[in-house]
Amino acid sequence: MITASNLLYRIEILTPTIRRDQFGSQVTVYHVSRTVSADVKYNKGRRILEHGEMWLPTTIGITTRLHDDLTDRCRIRWDGKIYQIDSFNRNRFEGSITIIASKVNEGTVTIGGDFNNDFNNDFYRGGNL
């Protein structure tokens, strides 16, 4: 059962929007749709045991309350890093969502702030956050 005392961290849900740039190609822009409380845990040791990797894991487990706008296409920003959702499990009985997410290369993510802004405005940017 999920309780408020377990949700110690604040995460941002980044919702994707597909836009066209000035050349007509599709660009996915992520904007912050909501900030929610969550329980975040690193999956320590799993990759070392299964794959023989010797560096820090880049996969986290997130548990939060059930939100309708959180889908498997969203990205999550936590602790200054962006994560893509690998596994997305809703539990409607408990009203919770359990997510397994992997860190993405931040240079490949475009974050937009104001959803109503034009794509060509300087507000949209890529690179490090």
In a domain, 117, yes or no: no
Q: If you average pLDDT over every residue of the chain, what do you get?
A: 78
Q: Can you give the residue range of the structural domain that contains 36? A: 4-112
In a domain, 41, yes or no: yes
Largest CA distance in the chain: 50
Question: For 84-104, what is the mean pLDDT?
Answer: 90
Read off the pLDDT of residues 33-80 as tens digits, 9 standing for 90 and up: 999 999 998 876 655 566 555 555 678 889 999 888 888 899 999 988
pTM over 0.85? The answer is no
Read off the pLDDT of residues 117-127 as tens digits, 9 standing for 90 and up: 444 443 344 44
CATH code for the domain in which residue 59 is found:
2.40.10.270
In a domain, 19, yes or no: yes
In a domain, 47, yes or no: yes
The pLDDT, as a whole number, for residue 68 is: 84
* Residues 104/111, Cβ–Cβ less than 8 Å: no
**Number of independent structural domains in the chain:** 1
In a domain, 42, yes or no: yes
